[in-house]
A = this chain, B = another copy of it.
């Protein structure tokens, strides 16, 4: 039961410094109204950018908490970069599920892309950010994945210089992702329900992406995203 208690007391802060912790409205509400944490309690917080802090709740005011004994630890970012660029699914809960699982598994960056077969062409970034924060807290990470703004496939693929660039494409027989993973830096493109178009595939090849397979199973978009993340993350374990 001790494990549970610790878990509940891991929070997300917009900014953490040795003198001040800035909490978002949701986290303030969660600490003061939902969990009703009392003064004197020591809690743990992360800013999702490598800082983990412990702090003592000194007093709870109407709009802010005074903390004392702020102790900061900096966790270095993993050298293994895993960026997944993925077409948001028509059913948004499937995409939200992908964000949660990608965070747990340890993806460093996620970019939602609009492809020619995409059915969903807009996103509520604020809602998705909350899911990333919740998953970061739940899995007690010090680093929250970077979530980039929605961008068109063509605009996205031209701007990337990460070493291992891959496109999961169903239309061609190709090597399995697991056999092509780059030592440290990987970026995988995952298409929408209808897959990438042949034109998109060719455009990616011109930009130095390698075609990869995720195996013989037909995977939904969000499953392909999670499977890609798992393959790369396991390679780095």
Contacts and interface: CB of A to CB of B under 8 A. Distances in A.
Interface of A: 3-4, 97, 101, 104-106, 138-140, 176, 178, 194-195, 215-220, 223, 226-227, 230-231, 233-234, 237
Contacts of A3: 194-195
Nearest to A170: B3
A106 B237 contact: no
A106 B217 CA distance: 7
Contacts of A219: 104-105, 139
Nearest to A231: B234
A217 B233 contact: yes
27 contacts: A3-B194, A101-B223, A101-B226, A104-B217, A104-B218, A104-B220, A104-B223, A105-B217, A105-B223, A138-B218, A138-B220, A139-B217, A139-B218, A139-B219, A139-B220, A140-B218, A176-B234, A176-B237, A178-B234, A215-B234, A215-B237, A217-B233, A226-B226, A226-B230, A227-B234, A230-B231, A231-B234
